[in-house]
Amino acid sequence: MNESLGYLEFNFPWRSYQAKLLKNFDNHISDNHFHVIAPPGSGKTILGIEIIRRLGEKTLVLAPTLTIRNQWEDRLQSFFTKSKTFESYSFNVKSPSDITFATYQSLHAFYKTFEDKNDYYAFFKKHNIKTLVLDEAHHLKNEWWNCLIDLKNNRSFFIVGLTATPPYDSSRSEVSKYFTLCGEIDDEIAVPDLVKETDLCAHQDFVYFSKPEDLEINFIVEYRRKIADFKDKLLHDDVFISFIKQHRFFNQPEVYLEELYSNAEYFSAILIFLNACGITIERTKLEILGFNKEETITFPTLELEWLEVLFQNLLIHDREQLLENESYLLSLEKELRKIHVFEKRKVNFIGEDLLYKSLASSPSKLKSIISIVTSEYKSLDNDLRCVVLTDYIRKEFLTTEANKIKTINKIGVIPIFQYLRTYFSNKESLAVVSGSLVIIHKTILKAFNLIEHCDYFSFTPLQVDSEFLLVGSKKKTKNSIINIITKLFENGDIKVLVGTKSLLGEGWDAPSINSLVLASFIGSFVSSNQMRGRAIRKDPDKLNKTGNIWHLACLDSTVSNGGRDVDILRRRFEAFVGVSNGNQSYIENSFERLQFPERILEDHVETLNLQTLSHAKNRNSIIKKWDEAIVKGTQLTKETKIYHLGELPYKKQKQIYYFDVVWFFVVELSFTILLFYLEFILKNIHIAFSRGVTYFLYTFLIAFIISFGYKLYKAVMLYIRYGYLDRKIKKIGQAILDTLFELGFIMTNKSLVNVESRRINNGDIICDLIGGNPFENSLFSTALSEILEPIKSPRYLIVKTSLFRRRLNIENFYSVPEIFGDKKTNALIFQKHWRINLGRNKLFYTRHLEGRKLLLKARLFHVYNAFKKVSKQVIVWK
């Protein structure tokens, strides 16, 4: 161990969740990686220093900003020394010490100074740096990855990754780079633990919905109309239909099988389009793909997503193969550009980007902010500490007169300020802070002067309202103004603070915040979670503090799911856990915990908003819900939720979708057979007397088969193919668990771990691993999701077989999860446990000709669910 690091020692008792994480440290670091998710308020930096101390090697700590870099040194001196006496540290990566604190940017700049990168690697070897601590590594910009990946690939290090939110919503390549650098997640400090220990306050997320303005509605409706007209025209366009029929995939599929296998979605789109046009798909084409003559292929409806796939390939991916049709493709391209469907080499019939920009920055959200802030002020009065965060300043609206406020058509710092200045009753408590603009009300000048003498600053009255002053700095820095505004906010002189998320987001700390409005529409899970973290910190001066976090959403009434703005909000909720908002108290990470109806209609908006405002006022209820929910669990667990996808409500659809044929037999079939039996006897009793009992029985049997034979056959077929879905899911889960045990992925005692599968009220099915640790739960949940989701491109496929199934031409296709599909020996072990739990099957390697042919067939079988969310991994406190 490094001698100077041996003098460091944590001076306080560890919190229970910190001690639990450190207890498992030795196991996790065995692969030279320790990757931890730790939310704001969990002491992430202190844990990082303790890990450095335990590893005992010279260390480079990398942080995203200078402020956070400096916090590391401050925490080390304050918590690990007696009187800030540790001197073996450096802030200069060029002159490293036992512990060197630096930013990612400074390391990248240092990396660029080496023409020969071998000298760069040699530098770290010379200084014997063996531990790299990556704080908030999700901040890494693309060019910053290289210096770290290169270093890791050329020298062995202990890699310690600490983050509040992994970049799950980044591109697949960025997520892959992130986990390549940091390793798989080893442990997580759960928000419920922090609330339980009072390191975070009780809090709740609220969503306030708005309706688009008339101009926005007209724009959306007109856009949808143009798309619908184009689709209708296309279905009757003989030139385009002929062009698609001549496509090599449709015209000569047997010649281009390899291409078909690698792009099954494209081929599916061609078949689905032609089927929608009324073109008969010849059986011979389907037989080439492995379908038998007896198999019935039902093509799904031509949704806009299938048109996207078709045109994205025609205009981009497949264009080089269609050079003889270039002039025609160019005309199609121009037509799509005209209706804003084709831009930046991307086809988008759904209009996600175009309509999202319109709705996400809708001025209707300005009215939402007024309603929220007004309600919160009525509820909390002088105790209100509200922050509104947004993306842009919009200085062009600074001179907008009061009588023209409603003409503001963009959301931003100044538009929000102008609306609050005009419509909020307590405007004296309002202030603005951003990198280039600070505005305060003149009534707080005295309080301002008590913190810092006013002579250091300039105060210019606003042109449109002389009661508000623009604050400029004469001698002090920008940071000193922000510090003053923060103190005024903490003291209550400012009660509503409007700012940019970049300035007040990460690193800015005001524990008194009890209401946060996220009026930001640009950014990721990471940034939204960090902003949210500002409001859930505990306030030492108010032990019963609760935090209300407000999210804004503008509805697109032309689609059933509420539109892209609501959809992005739903996905962002996957990044953080919170307490439910219904009668049952539980903790999980989904949008569903807020208990909104599945379809949010415009007519319901006002009622929903009134209910939300009412819930938000009852802050004692939020505390109570957390208290009730926390005692129901001990750790965060991943569950897999399998969605009920039927068109009809679950109770009407369940015997069709979930194939509960026992219920069908016992209740419906038995009842109808009884009625049939009585009716037949009453009508035909004379046959028994005139022609004999034998003739009567034959007549009864024939009538019974005619009436119920098909229903009975169909029910049996469905049961053979699917069985009880919840029981079948449990058997699949058991096969996964047994394989994980045999391959050594699960270290927990086998007697303590089991699979549970249950159906909930709306028809969804929940399956989870009981008794495993978070890492084991994650492996199980991921593997189960891969099996249940529409088949993509697994290395191995399992096909369920039996003599009876082959005779009836019934096949089921399943992906072998990636964790088992990397090696044939592992895939065979999974197949063995599948056979034990679910019966006979065959395993196919999809990278050979026969396997690729079967893979395409399997993907076509799943074509109905290609654009549906079949399952979801949910994080639950249990």
Residue scoring higher pLDDT (484 or 215): 484
Answer yes or no: do 478 and 616 share one domain.
no
Residue scoring higher pLDDT (94 or 188): 94
Kindly tell me if the per-residue pLDDT of 667 is higher than 60.
no
Overall average pLDDT of the 438-457 stretch: 93
Residue scoring higher pLDDT (48 or 777): 48
- The 3-state DSSP class for residue 542 equals strand
Among residues 204, 220, 205, which one has the least CA distance to residue 555?
220
Answer yes or no: do 72 and 99 share one domain.
yes
Can you give the residue range of the structural domain that contains 710? 659-721
Q: How much of the chain exceeds pLDDT 90, in percent? A: 47
Q: Give the model confidence (pLDDT) of 389-418 as tens digits.
A: 998 999 999 999 888 998 898 899 999 999
DSSP result, 439-474: EEEGGGHHHHHHHS-GGGEEEEE-SS-TTEEEEEES
Angle between helices 117-126 and 142-154 (to 10 degrees): 60
Q: Is residue 641 part of a domain?
A: no
CATH number of the structural domain spanning residue 601: 3.40.50
Overall average pLDDT of the 193-211 stretch: 94
Q: Is residue 267 part of a domain?
A: yes
Answer yes or no: do 612 and 699 share one domain.
no
Q: Give φ, ψ of 60 to 5 degrees.
A: -110, 120
Q: Give φ, ψ of 104 to 5 degrees.
A: -60, -35
Query: Of the residues 476, 494, 512, which one is the last residue of a structural domain?
Result: 494
Q: Give the model confidence (pLDDT) of 98-157 as tens digits.
A: 999 999 999 999 999 999 989 999 999 999 999 999 998 776 666 778 889 889 988 899
User: For residue 349, how far is the Cα from the chain centroid?
Assistant: 23
Number of domains in the chain: 6
Q: How confident is the model at residue 168 (pLDDT cuts 50, 70, 90)?
A: low
Tell me the H-state helices in 197-325: 214-235, 238-245, 248-251, 257-262, 264-276, 283-288, 304-312
Q: Is 518 exposed, middle or buried (0-12, 13-18, 19+ CB in 10 A)?
A: buried
Overall average pLDDT of the 181-209 stretch: 91
Can you give the pLDDT at residue 657? 33
CB atoms within 10 A of CB 156: 8
CA atoms of 129 and 113, how far apart (whole Å): 19
Answer yes or no: do 406 and 459 share one domain.
no
Answer yes or no: do 716 and 729 share one domain.
no
Query: Of the residues 721, 753, 773, which one is the last residue of a structural domain?
Result: 721
Q: Is residue 653 part of a domain?
A: no
Type and span of the H or E element at 336: helix 326-338
Q: Give the model confidence (pLDDT) of 289-348 as tens digits.
A: 666 666 666 778 898 999 999 999 999 999 999 999 999 999 999 999 999 899 889 998
Q: Is residue 645 part of a domain?
A: no
Instruction: Provide CB contacts within 8 A for 730, sequence distance 6+.
Output: 755, 756, 757, 767
Query: Of the residues 358, 389, 413, which one is the last residue of a structural domain?
Result: 358
Answer yes or no: do 713 and 740 share one domain.
no
Answer yes or no: do 509 and 386 share one domain.
yes
Q: Is residue 636 part of a domain?
A: no
Name the range with the highest mean pLDDT among 257-271, 471-485, 623-637. 623-637
User: For residue 220, how far is the Cα from the chain centroid?
Assistant: 26
Q: Is residue 326 part of a domain?
A: yes
Kindly tell me if the per-residue pLDDT of 652 is higher than 90.
no
Q: Give the model confidence (pLDDT) of 6-18 as tens digits.
A: 889 999 999 989 9
Q: Is residue 265 part of a domain?
A: yes
Q: Give the model confidence (pLDDT) of 690-718 as tens digits.
A: 555 565 555 656 655 555 565 555 555 54
Residues in the chain: 878
Overall average pLDDT of the 830-845 stretch: 92
Answer yes or no: do 406 and 539 share one domain.
yes
Copy the structure tokens of residue 877.
């406190």
Answer yes or no: do 342 and 397 share one domain.
no
Can you give the pLDDT at residue 369? 97
Answer yes or no: do 790 and 830 share one domain.
yes
Answer yes or no: do 422 and 568 share one domain.
yes
Answer yes or no: do 175 and 207 share one domain.
no
Kindly tell me if the per-residue pLDDT of 784 is higher than 70.
yes
CA angle 362, 366, 370 (to 5 degrees): 155
